[in-house]
Amino acid sequence: MPSDLYAVADFCLIPMGTGESSVAEYIAECQRVLEKSGLTFKIFHFGYGTNLEGPWSEVSQAIHDCHTAVHRKGAPRVATDIRIGTRVDRDTPVGDGNDHKVKRVEEILARERAAASGIFVA
């Protein structure tokens, strides 16, 4: 097992005590931090959650740095919810942890639809 597990994460950061209900400016600030981190990430496409993956320590550091950036921008408190997963049963292709999962679900549903329509899918 690697001493720094490969992590696939999804986080949702909320600036608190800012007196503005829009969080878009803060999220944009995070995006800049993540771009600098060099990690694979996809931000905010469904309203909650920025996907981020890489060695656990780097993923954690990048989220920490988002907190620092959001505090600097004026938020006295920052609360984040992180969903993070690791696995040791197969190698996760670097930067492909999340895409892989989506593909598996799509394959299952495609096979099912094909079966329903009488077409065979290997």
State the residues that interact with a copy of itself by CB under 8 A.
Answer: 1, 4-5, 8-10, 12, 14, 16-25, 27-28, 31, 42-49, 51, 56-57, 60-61, 63-64, 67-68, 71-72, 76-89, 97-102, 104-105, 107-109, 112
CB 100 within 8 A of CB 92: yes
**How far is 48 from 69, CA to CA, in rounded Å?**
19
- Mapping DSSP to helix (H, G, I), strand (E, B) and coil, where does residue 58 land? helix
For a copy of itself, which is the closer residue by CB, 112 or 118?
112
CB of 22 to a copy of itself, least distance (A): 7
For a copy of itself, which is the closer residue by CB, 38 or 74?
74
Q: Output phi, psi for 31, to 5 deg.
A: -60, -40
Sign of the alpha-carbon dihedral angle for 60, 62, 63, 69: positive
For a copy of itself, which is the closer residue by CB, 64 or 119?
64
